[in-house]
């Protein structure tokens, strides 16, 4: 049986991911203020409820990944559209803090089963070790989630209020998201059991020794990856919440800070294009190491020169962050192989989701106390992620493409 068209699958998943991210992760940035005013609560309460959603998503991740490993991603993602719609309707109906937290917890269940980790697991279930380019493809499309989501949410809020905006996003999940995921190819049985890509220690005939892939020490490799993902997601979320204020602390005006902050999104897409074009010819571990250095290098430049180097900082941070998003999907694949990928991905991302939930509050406190010195914290975490990646086995060069067998023609 031929494998389904990668281009079609990437287009469907990428569009669905854009909707999922825009209607969940990027929602509070535009609606937290009107929610707080209408409900009579402080804005930190709204963001605390959002943090609960992130923690809930972490709890559900491993089980969802295991389900995708067994049955494929199509039924899971279709169910997720219903969960998103239900959670958004519940959010539109909240009347106080308790119902606010409950609604966001329900959205957290949908996030745990419908964002990147589920999409990556869906691709690996379909394409096995040949999933690197499809993973990059969906991150390229969904990289515009904030570009699409923020203006649309603002427009809906202006026209119908924040409750109407939530209802509109719920309708989009049923009218757009559900049909998109219904068109995804069904996973074939059995699941692909491709071997991991070769790394250092491979024998001359191409066979990979267990020590080379980390399979003889899976706990250590898993711990390293979990730390890398947690550290980089903390930095990414902290910058998303506080970048304008951080730039102002280094001497930039508000107008400059907002303008420079707008460069992060395009830089992320540029980093993913770099990964898809040039760096696809190198092992994902090498590109992940390069990406991990993006924020620390930018932070060092910003610390030394201040506001005049705000643009290079934003570009380095954005490009590195964009490439690291891909690494979160590809590194577990090449280090462990596709078997059990979904469940493993869920466990690896649990600490990342928790650190992501804590990042806006924790980095905000550090920024209040340290000002521009907060760059020491984010830069140190980035360097720590780079150092952890250096602990993993040095990879050998691998071929950029996988030769198709007669039963599995190239896309």
Q: Please provide the average confidence, as pLDDT, over all residues in the chain.
A: 81
Kind plus residue range of the DSSP H or E element containing 136 = helix 132-142
pLDDT, average across residues 339-362: 83
In the chain, what are the domains? Answer: 6-182 (1.20.1250.20), 210-390 (1.20.1250.20)
Residue 189 per-residue DSSP state = S
What tens digit of pLDDT does each residue of 198-256 get? 443 333 333 333 333 444 577 788 888 999 999 998 998 888 777 777 888 888 877 78
What tens digit of pLDDT does each residue of 86-97 get? 999 999 999 999
pLDDT greater at residue 180 or residue 47: 180
Q: Which of 269-273, 279-283, 329-333, 368-372 has the lowest mean pLDDT?
A: 279-283
Local confidence band at 189 (pLDDT 50, 70, 90 cut-offs): low
pLDDT greater at residue 396 or residue 23: 23
Residue 299 exposure: Cα atoms within 13 Å on the Cβ side: 23
User: Can you read off the two tokens belonging to residue 320?
Assistant: 């590195």
First to last CA, the chain: 13
194 contact partners, CB below 8 Å, separation of at least 6:
128, 129, 130, 337, 338
pLDDT of residue 265: 77
pLDDT, average across residues 303-321: 86
User: Can you read off the two tokens belonging to residue 61?
Assistant: 């991740």
Kind plus residue range of the DSSP H or E element containing 124 = helix 116-127
pLDDT of residue 206: 34
Dist CA 392 CA 300 (whole Å): 25
- pLDDT above 50 for 194: no
pLDDT greater at residue 167 or residue 365: 167
Cβ–Cβ < 8 Å for 302, 375: yes
Residue 2 per-residue DSSP state = P
Torsion-angle region of residue 405: left (phi > 0), alpha (psi -120 to 50) or beta?
Answer: beta
Local confidence band at 400 (pLDDT 50, 70, 90 cut-offs): very low
pLDDT, average across residues 339-359: 84
Dist CA 296 CA 44 (whole Å): 28
- pLDDT above 70 for 197: no
pLDDT of residue 200: 37
Local confidence band at 394 (pLDDT 50, 70, 90 cut-offs): low
pLDDT of residue 257: 78
User: Can you read off the two tokens belonging to residue 257?
Assistant: 């800070």
Residue 19 exposure: Cα atoms within 13 Å on the Cβ side: 28
- Distance (Å) of CA 74 to CA 120, 159, 186, 203: 12, 34, 6, 38
Cβ–Cβ < 8 Å for 157, 31: yes
Q: Which residue reads 């690291």 in tokens?
A: 324
Most confident among 197-206, 274-283, 385-394 (mean pLDDT): 385-394
pLDDT of residue 179: 95
pLDDT, average across residues 58-81: 88
Cβ–Cβ < 8 Å for 212, 394: no
pLDDT of residue 192: 46
The sign of the dihedral angle between the CA atoms of 317, 323, 325, 331 is: negative
Cβ–Cβ < 8 Å for 357, 51: yes
- pLDDT above 70 for 406: no
What tens digit of pLDDT does each residue of 95-118 get? 999 999 999 999 999 998 888 888
Please report which residue ranges of 250-340 form alpha helices under DSSP H: 254-261, 264-277, 284-292, 294-305, 310-336
Local confidence band at 82 (pLDDT 50, 70, 90 cut-offs): very high
326 contact partners, CB below 8 Å, separation of at least 6:
135, 136, 139, 272, 275, 284, 287
- pTM confidence score: 0.77
- pLDDT above 90 for 306: no
């Amino acid at each position: 049986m031929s494998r389904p068209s990668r281009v079609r699958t990437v287009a469907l998943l990428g569009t669905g991911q854009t909707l999922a991210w825009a209607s969940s992760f990027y929602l509070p940035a535009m609606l937290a203020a009107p929610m707080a005013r209408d409900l009579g609560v402080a804005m930190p309460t709204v963001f605390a409820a959002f943090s609960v959603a992130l923690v809930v998503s972490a709890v559900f991740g491993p089980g969802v990944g295991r389900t995708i490993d067994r049955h494929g991603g199509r039924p899971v993602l279709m169910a997720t559209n219903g969960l998103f719609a239900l959670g958004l309707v519940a959010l539109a109906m909240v009347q106080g803090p308790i119902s606010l937290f409950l609604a966001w917890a329900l959205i957290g269940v949908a996030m745990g089963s419908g964002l990147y980790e589920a999409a990556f697991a869906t691709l690996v279930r379909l394409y096995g070790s040949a999933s690197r380019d499809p993973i990059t493809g969906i991150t390229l499309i969904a990289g515009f989630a904030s570009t699409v989501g923020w203006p649309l949410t603002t427009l809906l809020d202006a026209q119908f209020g924040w409750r109407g905006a939530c209802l509109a996003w719920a309708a989009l999940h049923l009218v757009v998201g559900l049909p998109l995921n219904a068109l995804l190819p069904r996973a074939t049985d059995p699941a692909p059991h491709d071997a991991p890509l070769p790394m250092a220690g491979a024998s001359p005939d191409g066979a990979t020794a267990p020590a080379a892939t980390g399979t003889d020490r899976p706990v250590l490799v898993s711990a390293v990856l979990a730390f890398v993902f947690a550290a980089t997601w903390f930095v990414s979320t902290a910058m998303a919440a506080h970048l304008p204020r951080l730039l102002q602390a280094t001497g930039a005006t508000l107008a400059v800070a907002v303008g420079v902050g707008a460069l992060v999104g395009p830089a992320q897409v540029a980093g993913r294009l770099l990964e898809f074009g040039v760096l696809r010819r190198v092992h994902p571990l090498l590109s992940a190491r390069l990406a991990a250095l993006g924020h620390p290098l930018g932070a060092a430049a910003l610390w030394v020169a201040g506001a005049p180097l705000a643009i290079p900082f934003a570009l380095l941070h954005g490009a590195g962050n964009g490439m690291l998003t891909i690494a979160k999907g590809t590194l577990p694949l090449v280090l462990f192989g596709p078997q059990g990928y979904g469940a493993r991905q869920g466990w690896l991302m649990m600490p990342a989701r928790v650190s992501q939930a804590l990042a806006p509050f924790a980095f905000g406190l550090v920024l209040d106390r340290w000002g521009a010195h907060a760059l020491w914290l984010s830069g140190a975490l980035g360097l720590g992620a780079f150092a952890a990646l250096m602990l993993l086995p040095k990879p050998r060069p691998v071929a950029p493409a996988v030769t198709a067998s007669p039963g599995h023609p190239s896309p």
